[in-house]
Amino acid sequence: MRKILKVMAYTHAAVIAVMYFCGTAFAQGEDSTPYERDLQVIATLLEGGFDNANQAYFDSRVRREPLHKRLHIDVGPAEIIQSGERLYPVKGYWSGAADTLAFEQTWALSANPASQSVLMRVVNNGAPGYCDLLWRREAAQFRASAENCQIGPREVVLSDRQLWITLSDSSGSDYQLHRIRNFECYADIPGVGGGRAEPYDRYDGFRIHDQGDAAWFTSKEGRELGISLFLVDWPINNYEGVFSRDSFVIYVSEKIDGERRELGYAFTVPDADRIGINLKWMLASCFIKSNQFEIPSM
């Protein structure tokens, strides 16, 4: 009986100790502020490449004036300094070409108690001055805006798939950029299929993103051929009264006398992580993850 009472006493003491320590842990007040949490989300969404190929294409198609120039922006990766600020190197390029620099900046993000929001300080690399933008959470997106800024963007809107940026107060400076996905592609000539034991030449190692990027190569026959990818986000319908669904498209093209000619294309759903086309005389395939690393399944 004494042993039972002793065990019960120890058990009771243990329960009290657990309750005490648990109570102490929950009483420490470790909840973050909403803007500290927002900083983590923005930091995750902001890093990557963005391109307005879709906007530039449809501007021309609907004859919009002024036309938006083709703009590509690369953000990050971030350097986190001792104060907790995240410093993002940011480069913008015109015409989607890495040799035509539009701007080069540093975007410094931090949780800002004074404004109860995420602060982004924009600095033009190699130039004096800065611009402060405050990020606010909206429905499924964030918006950063500034007042009386002489440098840097006037406004930035960020979601999981897009980055919209207004660079200045002038007309046509509002750019709608889509987040790029990077693919690896190859081409086989001819496009062997059906398990036929036919010789073919493979051209591979091409890195292409899905916002109008292309890779060109010269075949053994001397033809200048290209593979390109385009994730079409329709801002219009291409048939009256019919809703046009977004598509992920692969194109095969050829340059003849300096002119680009499309030889064929195939399309699938926007979220597809691989796509291919077989024209018989040529097969092209693009993927985010190679079949070499795919997990076998039923």
177 close to 71: Cβ distance less than 8 angstroms: yes
What whole-number distance in Å separates Cα of residue 142 and Cα of residue 254? 41
- Over the stretch 108-134, which tens digit does the pLDDT of each residue have? 999 999 999 999 999 999 888 899 999
Please tell me the predicted confidence (pLDDT) of residue 127: 85
- Over the stretch 141-197, which tens digit does the pLDDT of each residue have? 999 998 778 788 999 999 999 999 999 888 889 999 999 999 999 999 999 877 677
User: Dihedral of CA 185/188/193/198: which sign?
Assistant: negative
Greater model confidence, 52 or 99: 52
Give the CA angle between residues 204, 208, 209 to the nearest 5°: 155
What whole-number distance in Å separates Cα of residue 169 and Cα of residue 167? 7
What whole-number distance in Å separates Cα of residue 89 and Cα of residue 111? 19
What whole-number distance in Å separates Cα of residue 236 and Cα of residue 58? 9
pLDDT category at 10 given cuts 50, 70, 90 is: very low
pLDDT at residue 246 is higher than 60: yes
pLDDT at residue 7 is higher than 80: no
Please tell me the predicted confidence (pLDDT) of residue 74: 97
When pLDDT is averaged across residues 54-65 and rounded to a whole number, the result is 94
Q: pTM of the predicted model, to two decimals?
A: 0.86
255 Cα distance to chain centroid: 29
At 155, which helix (H) or strand (E)? Answer: strand 155-158
What whole-number distance in Å separates Cα of residue 233 and Cα of residue 143? 21
151 close to 238: Cβ distance less than 8 angstroms: no
